[in-house]
Structure 1
């Protein structure tokens, strides 16, 4: 099942609104660049700076609202910027630290199913502490009772980030399971596109820390999971359509920087 005509229109409008919101709030950093300005022109330099800013925040500005608009049609519950909770079992914290230590020392390999079971067994409602986990980019619940907490990341995360990502995924699970020990919880990283296409995604930096099969979705797999088979290909067309529709609007926006 690919995107319906109505869904495609909704995605295109979501993209346009996201870009217009970015235009409205964007304020170039005041900096004198006399050589760059004379070589490239004010409008091209402004365009470069805007694109750099947009790419830096593409996940929050573009991918997150688009992902939410697609997921709302398939999932029973779909929310963005969702707060999992604010308490965690102290025993779970101990288990998470042990998991992290073993992965860091390569004593064990990442195994999310086993890790979740260890966390589930460690839940002790009588011994908890206050916590402030990272807000999830997407919170989804399907009609079979499965819960998905998803963190949307850049296409090429740095090596040092994966320990932080892994701990976040484990802590999300622990907080959610404290509230509902029987929850069918899934905590995942999502990478919106594969920068290595047509080759498989091969980011060596996640080796030894992320369970590739159970903690990661990349490109087509991610978008087809949200909207059904064919969603990724439809989405590329939606992006192209939005870009064509807004071409004059984009040109007019940047022409003002020549004045």
Structure 2
């Protein structure tokens, strides 16, 4: 068992608190939809609207705090919305763009080689950047750092050049601060919408080194907390939902008045 009962209770409480905060701060849309109201009921439409709002913020409002709670069971340092830094060597910044340009022509990403290129490009002037934040930062007892950018289950394929650039810049910024840093920069996708089929990696291939820059569903959660955490986490969400069901029903029943 990867999580103790106490840890499971703590994670369930994190989930419950996140949802309660969402209820507290949620402002329903005041769209007048008389046909829909008569057909489905205001409470069901309110629930649908709430779900749409929740899905757009699930990463920051649910997955990030849950990831922090899970990672604290295994890692020495854990932080959400981690400030990576705001400066990078000019030669390193140029190397990032050269790598991106190369991938657009011949899509053969290799993160190990890319990091080596960045390491030997720590020269030139120091350029200031807009402070960059990683959704999740974890560090092992040996000082190995992992920076995650949490994405939706079906990310926009057209944006992955920018995502790749962000991952490389995070590494460059980290090396600018400490050339000997052991850093890994990755995309994390909390669940696989295609399950039980494999995740459709073809949408990400070409820019990302799928072995070194991507963790999806079980791979992500088990990495954070240990083998078996993904299934245990699903149970935590289910138990939190059972606990909150009366509150959820009461909240949406108010929309029928």
TM-score (norm 2): 0.97
Following superposition, which runs of at least 4 residues in structure 1 exceed 6 angstroms of deviation? none
Which aligned pairs between 1:102-113 and structure 2 lie closer than 5 A? 102-106=102-106, 108-113=107-112
Q: What is the CA distance between 1:163 and its match in structure 2?
A: 0.7
Are the aligned partners of 2:138 and 2:145 in contact in 1 as well (CA < 8 Å)? yes
The equivalent of 2:231 in structure 1 is 233
Q: Could you tell me how far apart the structure 2 residues matched to 1:181 and 1:38 are?
A: 64
The equivalent of 2:240 in structure 1 is 242
The equivalent of 1:89 in structure 2 is 89
Q: Could you tell me how far apart the structure 2 residues matched to 1:68 and 1:196 are?
A: 25
The equivalent of 1:71 in structure 2 is 71
The equivalent of 2:56 in structure 1 is 56
Which aligned pairs between 1:114-193 and structure 2 lie closer than 5 A? 114-124=113-123, 127-193=125-191
Q: What is the CA distance between 1:199 and its match in structure 2?
A: 2.0
Q: What is the CA distance between 1:120 and its match in structure 2?
A: 1.1
Q: Could you tell me how far apart the structure 2 residues matched to 1:229 and 1:33 are?
A: 48
Q: What is the CA distance between 1:133 and its match in structure 2?
A: 4.8
**Partner SS for 2:28:** coil
The equivalent of 1:253 in structure 2 is 251
Are the aligned partners of 1:86 and 1:130 in contact in 2 as well (CA < 8 Å)? yes
CA deviation digits over 1:68-103, x for unaligned, max 9? 001112111000001111111111111011100110
Q: Could you tell me how far apart the structure 1 residues matched to 2:41 and 2:197 are?
A: 38
**Consecutive unaligned residues in structure 2, runs of 5 or more:** none
Q: Could you tell me how far apart the structure 2 residues matched to 1:174 and 1:87 are?
A: 9
CA deviation digits over 1:10-61, x for unaligned, max 9? 1100000000010011001222222211211111100000001111111111
CA deviation digits over 1:136-188, x for unaligned, max 9? 11011001211000011111111101111101100111111100110000000
Q: Could you tell me how far apart the structure 1 residues matched to 2:252 and 2:159 are?
A: 35
The equivalent of 2:14 in structure 1 is 14
Are the aligned partners of 2:187 and 2:213 in contact in 1 as well (CA < 8 Å)? yes
**Partner SS for 2:85:** coil
Are the aligned partners of 1:133 and 1:171 in contact in 2 as well (CA < 8 Å)? no
Are the aligned partners of 1:133 and 1:172 in contact in 2 as well (CA < 8 Å)? no
Q: What is the CA distance between 1:134 and its match in structure 2?
A: 3.6
Are the aligned partners of 1:156 and 1:203 in contact in 2 as well (CA < 8 Å)? no
> Pairwise CA RMSD of aligned residues?
1.1
